[in-house]
């Protein structure tokens, strides 16, 4: 009899102890980052460093900075062009009009050649950087939106959440990533720029830039550019934010928009 009572007490105590241990484990797991809600992606503000004039008739689709000049791709059927622009004055010092059936899009500089996408034509034009003399074309199966490069691959957006990495000489796809914010696809990726190991992307219809990991496609931070609207002042017509250019020599970042009369040098704040 005595042994039975002792055994029952032992089992009761063991069950209680096991229950308390299980509860402690569940509480620990609930507090663990792997079980918690994903942390919000940081939202960065900006500081306007300098303001430059920009052609208010330029429907900016692609933008880059090289050798002291801006190079710009403009869109709209019958108005699309490739341009070389004086940063300080906004003067267009060289321009090449696209045939009217083409809608100009993203632009990048690969070695000594400019590569310009078109929107729905499935063709990229290649030009000599200095003369704008056409040097060839590439075909691709998607829409063309934004274009940049990371030193070894071209990076292309098509308005979806996908970024494609392409072989620069053949335009063949090497790999792709889906851009996500805490697991949610970020669509409407537009103009691109590669800056110090990250991809910066305009997201069409928003006043934010996504900072993207090239390896994973994860958005590591958002950059809020909404204050630029006020800095534009009164304008007759003004379309969406679009256009990112980076001066790697002086570490300067430039942004503008479609039909914007100003181009801004900005600093991204932590």
- Which contiguous run of DSSP H or E holds residue 11? helix 2-31
Q: Are residues 68 and 179 in the same domain?
A: yes
Question: Do the beta carbons of residue 126 and residue 136 sit within 8 Å?
Answer: yes
Same domain, 138 and 5: no
- CATH number of the CATH domain containing 161: 2.130.10.10
The boundaries of the domain holding residue 29 are: 1-36
User: What pLDDT is attached to residue 239?
Assistant: 84
pLDDT at 12: 54
Q: Are strands 43-44 and 219-224 parallel, antiparallel or unpaired?
A: parallel
The count of domains in the chain is: 2
pTM: 0.85
How many angstroms separate the CA atoms of 231 and 208, rounded? 16
Position 35 pLDDT exceeds 60: no
On whether both 180 and 248 belong to a single domain, the answer is yes
Structure tokens at 136: 């060839």
Examine the domain organization and report whether 23 and 109 are in the same domain. Answer: no
Structure confidence at residue 270 (pLDDT): 85
Residues 165 and 97 in one domain: yes
Same domain, 6 and 99: no
Q: Answer whether residue 27 shows pLDDT above 50.
A: yes
Residue 19 phi/psi, 5-degree rounding, is -65, -40
3-state DSSP assignment of residue 160: coil
For 51-100, write each residue's pLDDT tens digit.
Answer: 999 999 999 999 999 999 999 999 999 999 999 999 999 999 999 999 99
On whether both 5 and 136 belong to a single domain, the answer is no
CB 114 within 8 A of CB 108: yes
| DSSP 3-state percent helix, strand, coil across the chain (nearest 5) | 15, 45, 40
Q: Which of 35-39, 58-62, 142-146 has the lowest mean pLDDT?
A: 35-39
Contacts with 137 (C-beta within 8 Å, 6 or more apart), sequence order:
123, 124, 125, 126
Query: How many residues does the structure list for the chain?
Result: 270
Same domain? 17 vs 77: no
176-217 pLDDT, tens digit each:
999 999 999 999 999 999 999 999 999 999 999 999 999 999
Q: Which residue has the tokens 């034509």?
A: 121
Q: Is the pLDDT of residue 26 over 90?
A: no
Q: How high is the pLDDT of residue 23?
A: 60
Answer yes or no: do 66 and 115 share one domain: yes
- Asked if pLDDT for residue 9 goes beyond 90, the answer is no
Tokens of 69: 């000049």
Which pLDDT score is estimated for 190? 97
211-264 tens-digit pLDDT: 999 999 999 999 999 999 889 988 767 789 999 999 999 999 999 999 999 999
Is the pLDDT assigned to residue 36 strictly greater than 70?
no
Residues 12 and 61 in one domain: no
Mean pLDDT of the chain: 90
Query: Are the C-beta atoms of 114 and 106 separated by less than 8 Å?
Result: no
179 and 258 together in one domain: yes
Residues 19 and 47 in one domain: no
């Amino acid at each position: 009899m005595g042994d039975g009572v002792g055994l029952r007490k032992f089992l009761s105590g063991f069950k209680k102890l096991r229950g308390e241990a299980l509860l402690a484990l569940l509480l620990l797991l609930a507090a663990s980052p792997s079980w918690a809600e994903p942390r919000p992606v940081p939202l960065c503000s900006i500081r306007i460093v300098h303001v430059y004039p920009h052609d208010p008739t330029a429907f900016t689709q692609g933008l880059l900075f090289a050798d002291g000049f801006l190079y710009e791709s403009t869109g709209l059927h019958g108005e699309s062009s490739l341009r070389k622009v004086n940063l300080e004055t906004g003067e267009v010092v060289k321009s090449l009009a696209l045939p009217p059936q083409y809608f100009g899009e993203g632009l990048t500089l690969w070695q000594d050649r400019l590569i310009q996408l078109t929107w729905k034509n499935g063709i990229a034009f290649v030009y000599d950087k200095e003369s704008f003399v056409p040097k060839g074309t590439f075909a691709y199966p998607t829409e063309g939106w934004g274009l940049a490069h990371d030193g070894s691959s071209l990076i292309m957006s098509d308005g979806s959440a996908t970024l494609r990495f392409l072989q620069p000489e053949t335009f063949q796809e090497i790999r792709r990533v889906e851009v996500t914010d805490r697991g949610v696809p970020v669509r409407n990726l537009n103009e691109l720029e590669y800056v110090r190991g990250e991809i910066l992307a305009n997201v069409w219809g928003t006043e934010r830039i996504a900072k993207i990991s090239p390896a994973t496609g994860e958005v590591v931070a958002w950059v809020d550019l909404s204050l630029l609207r006020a800095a534009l002042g009164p304008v007759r017509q003004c379309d969406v934010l679009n256009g990112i250019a980076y001066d790697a020599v002086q570490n300067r970042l430039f942004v503008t928009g479609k039909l914007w009369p100003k181009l801004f040098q900005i600093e991204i704040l932590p």
